[in-house]
Structure 1
């Protein structure tokens, strides 16, 4: 996560008690409380069996990592809902984060 991905925050919506650091150096925040309070988008992702069925018999495959794609989507209003607190201060994402319930359908 780069410094441009998060910014300082004065907001009170905070899931800090659910935050932990992984060995690879990424921040992991549990947004279950926030996701419960969020109105869900109704754009379901396809079932894996439907995807695999479409891939059967193809000769070429490509794997794309969507990590940097998520980080291309800016959060305009509602950044305060991504607020978290760590030993270095209180921050909020300025770009879309993994773990938010509507992230896959937005991406």
Structure 2
């Protein structure tokens, strides 16, 4: 049996954190769709790092949805939509480069 390298262990932890963040964000989405705020929707998450990570995901999805809706209703031009979408993507990519800080994770 081979021991895992530190890098492999960290990658596994990051993948586990990503799954937990995604699962929590998906479970919060329906509540958010019904008109709740991101803060109230994520208030039940005890781990502050997990709560912040889920909130960031929800804010990102909300912003992308609002931008798309504004373009669809012709409230903003296609050029403005692309400009704002590119900006939010840049922010999201900067966040993706950071390691997840949700430890300690919940029990498996």
| Structure having the larger proportion of residues in helix | 2
Question: Taking CA–CA contacts closer than 8 Å with sequence separation of 6 or more, which of the two structures ends up with the larger relative contact order?
Answer: 1
TM-score, normalised with respect to structure 2: 0.27
| Structure having the larger proportion of residues in strand | 1
TM-score, normalised with respect to structure 1: 0.27
